[in-house]
């Protein structure tokens, strides 16, 4: 210890240094919390088409969306492979309460159609999800899907008509067919003929982006500052 330097002075200096470090840490954490709270949340409720079935998770269109947003918004992917509209409707209330999203993206119905479930049942489930999301002050984007022609024209028309009728009734933005430009290209589809490959995911994001971008801007995301793919 230096001669003539009071012990209590050293103690005070150490205490002041620790106080300054503690204050800086508190401010940093508060700033990070405020930043996270200010970012809008996008909740994606989907099935295997949004859950990156058969490919790496980071290659899926939802992960590509998160990368494009570059931290300007937080994307929660609550999609589950094999999910039906009824299963998603049962899960949604808890997810709305947990994440408080500004935007809810609904990509559902494919498994209802593949199982031959009544389109009216799917419509009711999706309507419940739309109304629950709107009641939680979230904007809703509806992503339409189609089913193979071997299900018959009548069933197929009733199925695809669900999305347009819901969009009209609830005044929602709609992507009429999520796999536009993908589904009929064998090079962009996996061997099962149902799920898109990793190479197809950027195209799927481009199908979604024009309908999603205005909702993001309304939520305060400065899209001009984002470097798009």
Identify whether 19 is a catalytic site residue.
Answer: no
The closest of 159, 203, 168, 160 to 49, measured between CA atoms, is 203
Residue 83 — left, alpha, or beta (φ > 0 → left; ψ -120 to 50 → alpha)?
A: beta
Identify whether 195 is a catalytic site residue.
Answer: yes
Q: How far apart are CA 140 and CA 106, in angstroms?
A: 7
Identify whether 99 is a catalytic site residue.
Answer: no
Q: How far apart are CA 48 and CA 39, in angstroms?
A: 27
Which backbone phi and psi does 40 adopt, to 5 degrees? -65, 150
Question: Pick the catalytic residue: 38, 171, 191, 192?
Answer: 192
Question: Pick the catalytic residue: 48, 50, 79, 219?
Answer: 48
Query: Can you read off the two tokens belonging to residue 36?
Result: 């996270």
Question: Pick the catalytic residue: 50, 85, 195, 219?
Answer: 195
Enumerate the active-site residues: 48, 192, 195
């Amino acid at each position: 210890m230096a001669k003539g330097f009071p012990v209590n002075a050293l103690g005070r200096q150490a205490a002041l240094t620790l106080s300054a470090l503690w204050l800086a840490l508190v401010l940093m954490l508060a700033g990070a919390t405020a930043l996270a709270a200010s970012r809008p949340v996008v909740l994606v409720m989907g099935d295997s088409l949004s859950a990156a079935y058969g490919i790496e998770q980071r290659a899926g269109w939802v992960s590509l969306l998160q990368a494009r947003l570059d931290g300007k918004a937080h994307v929660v992917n609550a999609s589950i492979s094999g999910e039906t509209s009824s299963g998603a409707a049962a899960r949604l209330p808890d997810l709305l309460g947990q994440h408080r999203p500004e935007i809810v993206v609904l990509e559902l119905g494919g498994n209802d159609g593949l199982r031959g479930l009544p389109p009216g049942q799917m419509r009711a489930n999706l309507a419940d999800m739309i109304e629950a999301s709107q009641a939680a002050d979230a904007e809703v984007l509806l992503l339409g899907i189609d089913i193979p022609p071997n299900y018959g024209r009548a069933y197929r028309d009733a199925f695809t008509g669900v999305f347009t009728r819901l969009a009209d009734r609830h005044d929602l933005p709609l992507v009429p067919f999520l796999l536009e430009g993908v589904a009929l290209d064998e090079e962009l589809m996996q061997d099962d003929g149902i799920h898109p490959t990793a190479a197809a995911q950027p195209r799927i994001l481009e199908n979604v982006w024009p309908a999603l971008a205005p909702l993001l801007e309304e939520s305060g995301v400065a899209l001009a500052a984002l470097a798009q793919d």
